[in-house]
Amino acid sequence: MPRKPEPQLRARILEAALVLFVKGGEKGLSMRTLAKLARTNTPAVYRRFRNREAILRAIAEHFRRNSFAALEQCQSLEEICGVLLDRALSRPREYALFYSELISKLPGPRANFEFTKKRAAEWLGGAPEDHVKLVLALFALIHGTAMLLISGAVMPENQARMRATFTASVPVLLQNATSLR
């Protein structure tokens, strides 16, 4: 008698992969441990995810989708920047994975980047393509701040200052947005 497919098994495996990844990074993502945590067996994991890289891509895509959902609620470019930095700092392993070499392998346009260009055009005027340099500058500021804080390169006594400097820098970039067109 053939097995009945479990519609929720893929989601359970992904949830378990997230737990293991957040706890131990890529090294903590053993297929056997993953199967056990997802209450299935190793062959079932391989039927849904070809290999570890496929699971890592699914984790990165999950992070991207959740980040995009958070961005859709934002009412200003300052808020978008703050939300993106907060997400990076609250999910440092997922953030680092997303911005590793895996991002270059994800198909299609970068949804968060395209969305932010569109919102910049709505809020500042012009066309989305008019704001490419501004959005690149904002993303560089977000990513630089996130990676410096995540990596521990900033001394603990300067971490709050780093965040405050980030918060103060975003309006400066926005005030000078026309020079970036």
Give tens-digit pLDDT for 43-95: 999 999 999 888 988 888 888 889 899 999 999 999 999 999 999 999 898 88
CB 57 within 8 A of CB 102: yes
Which alpha helices (DSSP H) does the chain contain, by range? Answer: 9-24, 31-37, 42-48, 52-72, 77-90, 92-98, 102-105, 111-124, 132-151, 159-175
- CA pair distance 71, 69, nearest whole angstrom: 5
The end-to-end CA distance of the chain, in Å, is 65
Of 62-71, 122-131, 146-155, 160-169, minimum mean pLDDT range:
62-71
Per-residue model confidence (pLDDT) at position 75: 96
Buried b (16+ CB within 10 A) or exposed e, 28-46: ebebeebbebbebeeebbe
C-alpha dist (Å) from residue 75 to 24, 79, 89, 132 = 35, 7, 21, 19
Between vectors from CA 44 to CA 39 and to CA 47, what angle results, nearest 5°?
Answer: 150
What is the DSSP-derived secondary structure letter of residue 3? P
Of 35-39, 113-117, 173-177, minimum mean pLDDT range:
173-177
Q: Dihedral, CA atoms, 17, 19, 24, 30, nearest 10 degrees?
A: -30
Per-residue model confidence (pLDDT) at position 3: 63
Per-residue model confidence (pLDDT) at position 4: 65
Q: Which residues contact 67 (CB under 8 A, 6 or more apart)?
A: 83, 84, 87, 112
Which pLDDT band, with edges at 50, 70 and 90, does 2 fall under? Answer: low
Per-residue model confidence (pLDDT) at position 7: 75
- CA pair distance 167, 82, nearest whole angstrom: 8
Per-residue model confidence (pLDDT) at position 99: 81
- CA pair distance 169, 108, nearest whole angstrom: 30
